[in-house]
Amino acid sequence: MPLLRRRPELWILVAPILALAIITVPLFLVGGPGADAEQARLCRMLLPALYPQDEGITVLDTESSPGNAVHVTFRTGGETNRPHLLTCRFGGIGYSAARRDLSAVLIDGVGIGESALYILRNRWLETQFAVEADPGPPRIAGEAIELPRPLALALQHLVGGLPRLGILALLAVSTALIYGLIGRINLALGEFLAFGGIMTTLAALALSGLGPGGFSLAGSPLVPVLAGGLAITLCGLAGLVLGRRVLWPLTRPGAAAGIGQPVLVAGVGLMVAMQEVLRLSQGAGTIWLPPAHGEGQVIAVSGTFEVILHPRLLVMALVNAAAILAVLWLMKRTGFGRAWRASADDPEAARLCGVDPEALLARTAMLAIALAGLAGTTIALNYGGIHFSGGTMMGLTGLIAAILGGIGSIGGAVLGGLAIGLFQIGWSALMDIALWELASFVLLTLALILRPGGFFGFAEGPMRKV
């Protein structure tokens, strides 16, 4: 705690980790996420193979239990028929590689034979018919609100886009932090996002195999917390090195490179180098985390259409919001924030007042890259992984958001990220999703024509509001 008081910017490293732990661990301990979504789906897919489909199958409840088991309570036929219990045991839980290995099936407490288990596991579950015949998760009547179909569709797209809003806001803030201080864009931010996502994936898989005496962390809520915390910390350390060894030598007062082009060239070189490092770390393909999360909750319905909110989306949205609020508080209420604003407005006057520009730039780069790492962690924990080159377009989209908000303005960057995120969510709902990035660049062009300084910036760079 004394270190955090002396270095308040370290809260940006600590806040997301604490928020992830504070939100995630109690959620798992009280059973909030319920049964593992993937295991519950596999268990439900067995029902049409075990019971005639023409009688109708209604899933009443799904829950997990110790011993890597999932219990599905269901009823066949009408409401008057008694419920049955299907129990499926798996080889692992959480991020374990054996979490999809079906090891036993019991119907009302009685196990099926080895030959029947083999047919279900290796013949039925591997077919498209099993996927199509899935009776679906339990639906609790009366808990979901009824909405008109257009509103229900809009709400589902908005709920599904919560992670993207946070990712773009974090990247926009990261861009604004560095640009506001040196007046140049760091083109490698997207690669640091990919670095954070890949480190989260590799750390989660590694931690899932750890544990003393045969005990595994695979199903523990500590896995995403530790994996995300490690990725964010590594990104913060990389940002510290970036600020001191790359950005400062190119932007320090009196440097011949102060005209700015070498900073952009260094950004391109760092982008290529980071991509190659990530390719060697993960391989040319993508390593995916298994979907070790609880099933989504139905929050609204429109006829047969259900609006589903997954716990992981809500958790990561709250973590991202906590990190962004921490940044805004840091820049407004702390000495570091005052030094950053003073140096962004007039670096020479700030230096004469005692601000160390090298230390300030290093700390700013650390915060910026840590935020990009948190964005990558959000991608890994929500979507399962990221390609080694997948951060480039995300970084450019974050740059669009920062420019739209008024590049150099922290508050404007948040608003710009939310605006671009909402625009892309709306575009994906109404138009061809393959064109949403092109549409984002067209939106940026129109915005710069109509308002060159963005939401909170000015047409003239030196007059930008920070």
The predicted model scores a pTM of 0.84
Burial state string for 2-23 with b = 16 or more CB within 10 A and e = fewer than 16: eeeeeebbbbbbebbbbbbbeb
Rounded (5°) CA angle 343-330-197: 100
Strand partners, 301: 146, 306
* Polymer length in residues for the chain: 466
Q: What is the pLDDT of residues 5-43, one digit of tens each?
A: 555 555 555 655 666 655 555 444 434 445 677 888 899
Q: Give the ranges where 243-356 is alpha helix by DSSP (H).
A: 248-251, 261-282, 311-333, 335-345, 347-352
pLDDT of residue 10: 59
Q: Give the ranges where 353-435 is alpha helix by DSSP (H).
A: 357-383, 391-405, 410-430
pLDDT of residue 98: 76
- Give the Cβ contact number of residue 92 at 10 Å: 20
Q: Using CB atoms within 10 A of its CB, is residue 431 exposed (0-12), middle (13-18) or buried (19+)?
A: exposed
Q: What strands lie across the sheet with 110-111, from one edge to the other?
A: 57-65, 69-76, 84-90, 102-107, 110-111
* Rounded Cα gap, residues 218 and 100, in angstroms: 13
pLDDT of residue 2: 53
* Rounded Cα gap, residues 123 and 319, in angstroms: 42
Phi, psi of 72 (to 5 degrees): -120, 115
189: nearest Cα among 206, 172, 202: 172
Token duo for residue 325? 């609020």
Helices 391-405, 436-450: inter-axial angle, 10-degree rounding: 20
- Give the Cβ contact number of residue 354 at 10 Å: 7
Q: What is the mean pLDDT of each run of 10 residues along the chain (466 residues)?
A: 54 58 50 65 90 80 81 84 91 76 91 91 88 78 77 92 94 94 90 95 81 52 84 92 91 63 87 91 84 73 84 85 90 91 91 91 93 94 90 91 88 93 90 84 83 66 44
pLDDT of residue 62: 85
Amino acid at 282: Q
The CA radius of gyration of the chain, in Å to the nearest whole number, is 25
Burial state string for 43-56 with b = 16 or more CB within 10 A and e = fewer than 16: bbbbbbbbbeeeee
Measuring CA to CA, how many Å separate 181 from each of 158, 161, 358? 34, 31, 11
Q: What is the pLDDT of residues 360-392, one digit of tens each?
A: 999 999 999 999 999 999 999 888 899 999 999
Query: 285: which residues sit within 8 A by CB, 6+ positions away?
Result: 387
Residue ranges of domains in the chain: 2-24+156-463, 37-141
Which H/E stretch holds residue 163? helix 162-182
Report, at the CATH architecture level, how domain 2-24+156-463 is classified. Answer: Orthogonal Bundle (1.10)
Residue with tokens 């544990």: 211
282: nearest Cα among 207, 390, 366: 390
Q: Using CB atoms within 10 A of its CB, is residue 132 exposed (0-12), middle (13-18) or buried (19+)?
A: exposed
200: nearest Cα among 177, 224, 222: 224
* Rounded Cα gap, residues 389 and 274, in angstroms: 9
Residue with tokens 């919001």: 321
Phi, psi of 36 (to 5 degrees): -55, 125
Amino acid at 396: L
Helix then strand count (H, E) for the chain reads: 19, 8
